[in-house]
Every structure is written in C-alpha cells, then in structure tokens.
Amino acid sequence: FSLHMKIKACIWLFVFGFVIDFVGAWMKVTHQPLGDVTIAIAVLFKTVGILGLTVFLLAHPKVKAFLAYKPFDDFK
C-alpha cells in the first residue's frame, strides 16, 4: 500500500464510524438491543481513523518541515 491508500483507508474508517454511529443512535432511540455496543464500536472506528490520519499527517516530510520552522531564524 502506498501512503495515499493508507490515508484513504483512514478516511473511510472515519466515515464508516459515522455511519455506524447513525445506526447506533437509531437503535438507541427505538430501544433495540445492543444499541450502546453499536455506538461504542462507532467511537472506536472514528478514533482509529482520526489517530491514523494524525500519524500519517505528522509523518509527512512537508508537515515535519513546517512544524520545525523557526520564524525568528530569518532575522539573524
């Protein structure tokens, strides 16, 4: 897998988490069994998606260069 595909996978995990969250909320409103478990699984998917995106974003060379930029070095 390339980095681009891994980022896409993280985005899809995040979106899938929202879909599961919607289903879990519907299950809670209609008093279906396991609605709370469904919402917990949705939170897990969204958390893994966001953490994955954060790791890949912080590992990108351009982002690393941006975060290491020291603005006051230009005035020396």
Q: pLDDT tens digits for 6-42?
A: 888 999 999 999 999 999 999 999 999 999 999 999 9
What's the whole-model pTM score? Answer: 0.77
Structure tokens belonging to residue 52:
């994955």
Q: CA-based angle 21:22:26, to the nearest 5?
A: 115
**Which uninterrupted H or E stretch holds 52?**
helix 35-59
| 58-73 burial code (b ≥16 CB/10 A, e <16) | eeeeeeeeeeeeeeee
User: Higher model confidence: residue 15 or residue 59?
Assistant: 15
Band the pLDDT of 2: cuts 50, 70, 90. Answer: low
Query: Which pLDDT value is given to residue 1?
Result: 54
- Torsion sign, CA atoms 8, 9, 14, 17: positive
The first and second tokens of residue 4, run together, are 């681009």
Task: Read off the amino acid at residue 30.
Answer: T
